[in-house]
Structure 1
Amino acid sequence: MPHVLVFAKTPYAKTPYDRWLAGSGVEPVILTTTEFAAGYGHLPHVHAFDDYDTNQLVEKTALRLAREHAVTAVFARAEADVVRAAQLRDLLDLPGQRTASALAFRDKVVMKDHLVGGPVEIPAYRALDSAYTALEFIAEHGYPVVIKPLSESGSLGAAIIRDEAELDAYLARPWRGASEIEVFVPGQMYHVDGLVVNGEVVFAHPFRYLNDCLSFRANDWVANLPLTPQDPVHDRLLKAARAVLAELPTPPHTAFHAELWITPDDRTVFCEIASRTGGGMISSMVRHAFGIDLDKEWLYAECGLPSTLGTPAYRPTGALCIPPSNGVLNRLPSGDEPACVKEVALTGTVGQEFHGGVKSGLFLAGYVVGGDTEEDVAANLENVAAWFADRAQWSPAPKGGTR
Structure 2
Amino acid sequence: MPEVLLLSRQPLAKRPLQDWLDDTADSIVLVTTPKAVEGAEDVLAEHFPRHLLVDDYHSWAAERAAEEAAREHGVDLVASTSESDVLRAARLRERLGLPGQDTRSALAYRDKVVMKRLAREAGIRVPAFAALDGPLDLLDFIDAEGFPVVVKPRSGAGAEGVAILHTMADVTAFLDRQRTSDVPYLPGQWMAESFVRADFFHVDGIMRDGRLVHAWPGQYSGGLAERVRDQTHVGSVLLAPDDDRTAVLMRFAADVVAALPAAPLPLAFHLEGWIGADGVPVLCETACRAGGALIAEAYERSFGIQLAREGLRAQCGSGLALAHQPAAPATALGWVLLPPGHGTFVPPAEPCPVPGSEVTPLLEAGTRRQGVEHVADAAARAFVGAGTAEEVRKRLADLLDWWYATAEWR
| Alignment counterpart, residue 393 of structure 2, candidates 369, 378, 382 | 378
Deviation at 1:222, TM superposition (A): 0.4
TM-score (norm 1): 0.85
Question: Partner residue of 2:286?
Answer: 273
Task: With the length of structure 2 as denominator, give the TM-score of the two structures.
Answer: 0.84
| Structure 1 range deviating more: 26-35 or 64-73 | 26-35
User: Which residue of structure 1 aligns with residue 161 of structure 2?
Assistant: 157
SS of residue in 2 equivalent to 1:43: helix
Verify the 8 A CA contact 2:345 2:369 in the aligned structure 1: no
Equivalent residue in structure 2 for 1:220, among 232, 237, 248: 232
Cα gap change, 1:162 to 1:30, in 2 (>3 Å): same
Name which of 201, 204, 227 aligns with 1:190: 201
**Identity percentage of aligned residues:** 36
Q: C-alpha deviations, 1:287-328, integer Å up to 9, x for none?
A: 00111222232223222222221664521122222343345x
Paired residues of 2:8 and 2:80 also in contact (CA < 8 A): yes
**What is the CA–CA distance in structure 2 between the aligned matches of 1:334 and 1:320, rounded to whole Å?**
20
Q: Distance in 2 between matches of 1:199 and 1:14?
A: 31
1:300 aligns with 2:313: yes
RMSD between aligned alpha carbons?
3.0
Q: Go from structure 1 to structure 2 and tell me whether the alpha carbon gap of 1:236 and 1:126 turns closer, same or farther (over 3 Å shift).
A: same
- Return the offset for 1:255: 1.0
Q: From 259, 264, 276, give the equivalent of 1:247.
A: 259
Q: Is the 8 A contact 1:217 1:358 kept in 2?
A: no
Which residue is 2:5 aligned to?
Answer: 5
Show the counterpart of 1:17. Answer: 17
Report which of the two has the higher share of helix. 2
Matches within 5 A, 1:4-403: 4-12=4-12, 15-22=15-22, 27-38=27-38, 40-41=40-41, 42-44=43-45, 45=48, 52=57, 54-56=58-60, 58-174=62-178, 176-177=184-185, 178-213=189-224, 214-252=226-264, 253-309=266-322, 312=326, 314-327=330-343, 330-331=345-346, 336=351, 340-341=356-357, 344=360, 346=362, 354-389=369-404, 392=407, 394=409
Distance between the aligned counterparts of 1:351 and 1:58, measured in 2?
Answer: 40
User: Greater shift after overlay, 242-251 or 9-18?
Assistant: 9-18
Where structure 1 has 5 or more consecutive residues not aligned to the other structure, the ranges are 396-403
Task: Structure 2: give runs of 5+ residues left out of the alignment.
Answer: none
Does the CA contact (< 8 Å) of 2:340 and 2:377 recur in 1? Answer: no
C-alpha spacing 1:37/1:265, structure 2 compared with 1 (3 Å): same
Q: Give SS of 1:147's match.
A: strand
Helix, strand or coil: the match of 2:252?
helix
Partner of 1:398: none
Aligned residues: 392
Give the counterpart letter for 1:356 in structure 2. Answer: G
